Chains A and B, each alone.
Chain A
Amino acid sequence: MSDQPAQPPPSSAPSPQPLLKVRDLRVSFTTATGVVDAVRGANLTVYPGQSVAIVGESGSGKSTTAHAVINLLPGTGRVSGGSILFDGRELVGASPKTFVGVRGKEIGLVPQDPMTNLNPVWSIGFQVREALRANGFEGSRREADARVAELLSEAGLPDAARRAKQYPHEFSGGMRQRALIAIGLAARPRLLIADEPTSALDVTVQRRILDHLEALTAELGTAVLFITHDLGLAAERAEHLVVMYRGQVVESGPSKQILAAPQHAYTQRLVSAAPSLASRRIQSAKERGTRATDLLAVTRGDGISEERGELMRVEHLTKEFVIRGATRSAKTLRAVDDVSFTVTRGTTLALVGESGSGKSTVANIMLNLLQPTSGVIWFEGTDLRTLDPRAEFAFRRRVQPIFQNPYGSLDPMYSIFRTLEEPLRVHRVGDARSRRARVRELLDMVAMPASTLRRFPNELSGGQRQRIAVARALALEPDVIVCDEAVSALDVLVQAQILTLLNDLQTELGLTYLFITHDLAVVRQIADEVVVMRNGQVVEHATTDAVFDQPTQEYTRELLSAIPGASLDIFGAA
C-alpha cells in the first residue's frame, strides 16, 4: 500500500481538478469570555503536485486553517462553517474514522518544532515504523525496518539503518526535522502540510532541508501546503501565496505577482517590512542620504562635536567551558577562540553566526557577566578585568542588554512602572518624583502610552514588551546597548517597528549597538559593520556593504544565499 508510487505525474500538465478546495471556512474557539472567531471565511485551493503557502503573522489564523483541514484543532476549536473538499470529498462534518483514514495516508503533516515533536523515549526508527503501521503497512518487522531505513535516507539522513536505532536526543535539530519529514511522507500522502517546518533551525540548515523537501515532493508528486511567517521563504518555495490577516484571507495569487504588485494595504506593509526582501539599511530621519560607511568618519551633527572613535575593543578573547561527560574526565569546549574586533562609538556592530558560533558568549563577556579564559576587553581604555566593585557598578550604567525572549526579559511580578524605575532606584538617580517623570519620558521614547505604567508584562504583546525592555535599557542613559537576538522572536511588522525605533534612538542619543543575531537579513537593515562568527572564530569582519556586496569568505556567501528570498529578484529599488 505504502509502496505505491504517487499517481499524478509531477508538474507536467496538472489536472484541472483541485486536490484541496477550502471555501468560506470558519473556525471558532470557545473561551471564558465567549466565542472567538479565529478564521473567518477563508478560501484556499491546492492543485495536485502544487506548492502553496499561507503567510501571516502570529494569530492570523494560518495554522488554524491548516489544522482544520486534518481536524486537529487544539482545545475548544471547531469548524463552524464553510466547506473543505479534499479530492472531491467533503471533510467538514466527516466522522472521526474518516479523518483517521485521511491523516497520514492522504494528508501528511510536518509539525513546527522538531525539538518537541518526537517522543524522547522511543527510537527514531520506532516512530517512523509507527507511522507506517498506523497507515496500513502490513509487512513483517524486517520489511518494516527496511522501509524505515529507506524513508529516512530518502529524507536525507545518511547511514539511515543505524540512525533509526538512535533516540531523538542524539539528533541535531536539522536531523530531527528530516525524521519528521520522513514520518510525514511515510504513507505517501498526496498533500503534505508543512507548518513552519524550519523556523527553529539555522538558515543554512533550513535551506538544505527545504531544498531537499522540494526535490522529494516534486519527485513523488506530492502537493505541499506551507505555513510560514516569512514572506521571502514563502515566495521562494511556493507558486501560489495566500496572505492571511486576523483570520481572513486578504490577498492570494501567484507568488511573483503578489511580491511585485501587492494590492492589499496589509500585503503592501508586509512586503515592505520583510527583512529578507529589504535591500538597504533603515534610514533614520537624521541621516538623509548619507551612506552608512560615511557615517563612520563623520562627526555628530548635533553640536557635540565628538569623535567617532573606538569605544570598546576586544582583544584575543577566548572562553573555554568545562563539560562534564559520562566519564569522569572533564573535556573543555572552546566556545570563543581568539576573537578580536573594535566597536566604534555611535555605530552598530553586528555579530552574526549560527547557533553554537559563540556570539552570545562574546556578548555576555562584553556585558561583564562572564569572565573570559584569556584575552582583554577594553572599554574606553579601561581593562574590564581591573574593575573594582565601584567601577563595575559605574560600568553597568553605561552598557545595557536587551534580550531575545520578550516573555522572559521582564519580571512578571513587576508593573511596567516598577520595571522602568528599577534601574533608577538601583543607581539612586533622583528622588521619587523625578524618577516618575523620567519613567514617563522613557515610555514616550518607545512610543508607549502613559496608561501602560500600571500594567503588567502579561498584558502586553511580545513587541510591546520588547519596547519596554528597550526603555529599561535606556533608563540610565548608557553608551552601549547589547541586543542579543532582540528582534528574532517578533513578527515581521513588529520587528521592523522595533528596528526603526532602535535606529531612531541611535541617531537621537548617539548610542552604540552591539547587535547579536543569526539573521543576516536583519543585519543589512541595522548594522554598519559585520563580524561573522563560526565555531567560536571570526570568519569575516567588514562593513555591511562590503559583506553583502563582496563577501570574501565561502561561509559568508553560504549564509547570504541561505537568506530566504535571496534568490528572488523582484525589487529594483524598494
Chain B
Amino acid sequence: MTTDPTPPGPVARPDQEHQVAPPDVVTLGEVDAVDETEAPASLWVEAWRELRRRVLFWVSAAIIVLVVLVALFPGLFARQDPRYCVLTRSLGGPEAGHPFGFDFQGCDIYARTIFGAQASVTVGVLTTLLVAILGTAVGALAGFYGGWFDTVLSRVTDIFFAVPLVLAAVMVMSIFRANRNVLTVVLVLGVFGWPQIARIARGAVMGVKNADFVTAARSLGASRFATLVRHLIPNALAPIIVTATVALGTFIVAEATLSFLGIGLPSTTVSWGGDISTAQGQLRVAPHVLFYPAGALALTVLGFIMMGDAVRDALDPKARKR
C-alpha cells in the first residue's frame, strides 16, 4: 500500500488516509472488452444446455421416443395382427407370445396396445399442430393490431373457450357419424382446442409489441406485417411451445374419451380409447383387459406433460435454477 501524505485535517482519522491499491493487484481491463472465448449461444442453445442436465427431460424424452417409434413402426414391436381374434381365447390370461393376454373378443391385447399407439399419437400430434397454428395466428393478430380487431377476435376466442372441448366435440362428432376417421377427429378437436393457445399468443405478442427492437424494425421501413412475422412471433414462440406440449396430452385423452363414448374413431380403427371403451364392460371380471391400453395412454400423456414442464423450465429464465 502506498500512502499519500495527507494534509492534516481538523481531526486525524485512522484508516481514512488516501490509499491506493498497488497496480499489480488489480489488472485493469480494456473498457467493455468483448469476450471472444465463450462459444456463441442463443436462447435455444442455452435451453438445451439446461435440459441436458435434467432427469425429467431424459425420462420424458425416452418415453416419447419409444411411443413415437411404436406409432411409426408397430410391426417391429408386435408380430400378431391386432384384428386376428379367436373367440375361444376370450379374456384369457398371458401365455407364451401373448404377454398381456386376450380381450373379450379373444384378440391379443399386446398387439392391440402396440397398434393402438398410431391412432392416438397421430391424433395428438396433428391436433396440437393445427391448434398451435390456428391459435398463434388468431392470438398474434389480435395482440398486434389491437383496437376493435382485438376486441372482436378476443370475444370469439372467449366464446370458444367457454364451450368445454369434449362436450363440443361430442356434439359435432355425432354429425360426422357416417365418415369418422383420424382426420375428422383432428379437425373437430382442433376447431375447439385453439382458444388457450390464442390467449397465450396474444399475451406474448402484446408483451414484446412495445419493445424497442420492434420500433427499430419499423423505422427501418419494415412493414407492420413483416415485423409481426419476423420479430414478434419468434419472440412469442417459447410460451406457445410449452402450452402446446402440455396440450398434446389432453388431446390424446380427448380422442380416447370420444372413442370411449363411441363417437370418436370407428371401431375398425385400433385405438387406445376404443379398447378402453370396450374393456369397461369386463372391468370386474378381467381388469387386465383395461389395464394395458389405459396404462399406455397414461404413460404417453405423462411423457408429453413432463416434456412440457421441462421445456417450460428451460425456456423461462425466471424458472431457471442458476
Contacts and interface: CB of A to CB of B under 8 A. Distances in A.
Contact of A396 (B38, B220, B321): B220
Contacts of B159: none
A267 B222 CA distance: 45
Given A245-B26, A448-B34, A494-B32, A253 B221 contact: no
Interface string B39-73: 01111000000000000000000000000000000
B17 A409 contact: no
Contacts of A448: 34
Given A16-B13, A264-B23, A463-B32, A252 B212 contact: no
A461 B32 contact: yes
Given A266-B26, A411-B213, A400 B219 contact: yes
A47 B218 contact: no
A16 B14 CA distance: 8
B172 to A, nearest CB: 37
B220 A254 contact: no
Nearest to B211: A408
A460 to B, nearest CB: 8
A367 interface: yes
A417 to B, nearest CB: 10
Given A13-B11, A21-B15, A43-B15, A248 B220 contact: no
A412 B218 contact: no
A208 to B, nearest CB: 29
A20 to B, nearest CB: 11
B32 A254 contact: no
B4 A405 contact: no
A454 interface: yes
A449 B20 contact: no
B212 A403 contact: yes
A166 B151 CA distance: 34
Contacts of A18: 14-15
B170 to A, nearest CB: 40
B319 interface: no
A497 B32 contact: yes
A264 B4 CA distance: 12
A258 B26 contact: no
Contacts of B284: none
B234 A413 contact: yes
B213 A426 contact: no
Interface in A500-554: none
Interface in A252-272: 252-254, 257-258, 261, 263-267, 269
Contacts of A122: none
A460 B226 CA distance: 26
Contacts, number: 159
A464 interface: yes
Interface in B1-48: 2, 4, 6, 9, 11-21, 23, 25-26, 28-29, 31-32, 34-36, 38, 40-43
A266 B20 CA distance: 11
B215 interface: yes
Interface string A445-467: 00011011011101111011000
A45 B16 CA distance: 7
Nearest to A11: B10
Contact of B215 (A265, A369, A463): A369
Given A248-B26, A266-B28, A253 B16 contact: yes
Contact of A412 (B9, B38, B43, B321): B43
A50 to B, nearest CB: 8
A426 B42 contact: no
Nearest to B321: A32
Interface in B192-230: 211-213, 215-222, 226, 230
A43 B16 CA distance: 10
Contacts of B83: none
Contacts of A405: 212
A276 to B, nearest CB: 18
A250 B40 contact: no
Interface size class of A (residues with CB under 8 A): 35 or more
Nearest to A247: B26
A157 interface: no
B2 A45 contact: no
B206 to A, nearest CB: 15
Contacts of A245: 26, 28
Contacts of B20: 250-251, 263-264, 267
Contact of B43 (A16, A251, A422, A456): A456
A497 B30 CA distance: 11
B6 A403 contact: no
B222 A401 contact: no
B235 A413 contact: yes
Contacts of B218: 369
A161 interface: no
Interface in A379-413: 392-393, 396-397, 399-401, 403-405, 408-413
Interface centre among A45, A253, A393, A464 (most CB of B within 10 A): A253
Given A251-B21, A253-B19, A494-B31, A459 B41 contact: yes
Contact of A263 (B2, B211, B217, B220): B2
Contacts of B234: 411, 413
A45 B15 contact: yes
Contact of B235 (A265, A412, A422, A493): A412
B18 A257 contact: yes
A454 B32 contact: no
A427 interface: yes
Interface in B219-256: 219-222, 226, 230-231, 234-235
A452 B11 contact: no
Contacts of A427: 220-221
A409 B43 contact: no
B79 interface: no
B235 A409 contact: no
A408 B36 contact: no
Contact of A369 (B29, B219, B235): B219
A241 to B, nearest CB: 10
Contacts of A464: 32, 34
B235 A497 contact: no
A127 interface: no
Contact of A449 (B32, B36, B322): B36
21 contacts: A45-B13, A45-B14, A248-B25, A248-B26, A250-B26, A251-B19, A252-B19, A264-B21, A264-B23, A264-B26, A396-B221, A401-B216, A401-B219, A408-B211, A411-B213, A411-B217, A423-B220, A426-B220, A455-B40, A464-B34, A497-B32
Interface of B: 2, 4, 6, 9, 11-21, 23, 25-26, 28-29, 31-32, 34-36, 38, 40-43, 211-213, 215-222, 226, 230-231, 234-235, 321-322
Interface of A: 13-14, 16, 18, 21, 31-32, 43, 45, 47, 240, 245-246, 248-254, 257-258, 261, 263-267, 269, 367, 369, 392-393, 396-397, 399-401, 403-405, 408-415, 422-423, 426-427, 448-449, 451-452, 454-456, 458-461, 463-464, 469, 472, 476, 493-494, 497
Given A245-B28, A396-B221, 4 more contacts: A253-B4, A264-B23, A369-B219, A413-B231
